[in-house]
Amino acid sequence: MNMIEKQVEVGKSLFEINKNTMSEMAELSRKNIETYFEVNRSFGEKLPEIREISAFLEMQREYGETLWNNAREAMESQTAILKGAFEETRDVLATAYSMEDAAPAKKTAKKKVAAES
């Protein structure tokens, strides 16, 4: 495979990785927003039932804890998606720029130099 074909394949592979990563991130964002609205709706429904300040404070603590846990899970999911994308990109670039292809060219150049001497 010549250099131009190799570059085209690298471009296609990187485009696919980026497209898939962005799709996964958009889907995750959609799910996170739905979860956020569901949590707010759930706690909003409980609010009229509160009659004491201690119950209100307890609900606030639960709400904050729930939001924190959801945010942590979302960040872990985003990190996993990005880590996968970086690994795929690394593999594509490692394959595209492997030293195996460069080695014959170096040997040929050394032979030419030796022949000219």
Tell me the per-residue pLDDT of 53-82, one tens digit each, with 9 for 90 and over.
999 999 999 999 999 999 999 999 999 999
Tell me the CA end-to-end span of the chain in Å, nearest whole number.
32
pLDDT for res 28: 96
d(CA 66, CA 69): 5
Please state the pTM of the whole predicted model: 0.71
d(CA 95, CA 110): 24
Asked whether the predicted pLDDT for residue 25 surpasses 50, the reply is yes
